[in-house]
Amino acid sequence: MASNAGSALTVMADRYQLKTKVPSNRRNTSMYKLGTFQQDYEYVAGSGDLEECNGRTGVTPGFPGGIYDYYATDSLPFPFLQRCVNGVS
């Protein structure tokens, strides 16, 4: 839980999902399967643990007042690493 520094570690889930409709400006899917490019994914609010820059605020033993962290995902979908910066300080 983000507000409890003593809670167990959990795997964070991002909020990006593969689009169901192929964008008209995308390269041919017979050549590059859907999921190859960044534009193949969309941010879906409320579908995971992280915000659109793959970050969240939570407390830790070292930061009991809370700290904003970025996360790297270890599986599909996009993004694998942070692609934007949130203005949270």
pLDDT in tens, the chain (89 residues): 588 888 888 888 888 888 888 878 888 888 998 888 878 888 899 888 888 888 899 998 889 999 998 888 776 655 566 667 776 65
Per the domain annotation, does 89 fall within a domain? no
Supply the range of the domain harboring residue 57. Answer: 1-83
Q: Give the DSSP letter of residue 18.
A: E
Beta pairing partners, 54: none
> Is-cis flag, bond preceding 23, omega within 30?
no
**Rounded Cα distance, 4 and 15, in Å:** 22
Contacts 24+ apart (CB under 8 A), 73-76: 73/12, 73/14, 76/35
Per the domain annotation, does 88 fall within a domain? no
Per the domain annotation, does 21 fall within a domain? yes
Per the domain annotation, does 35 fall within a domain? yes
Q: How many domains is the chain partitioned into structurally?
A: 1
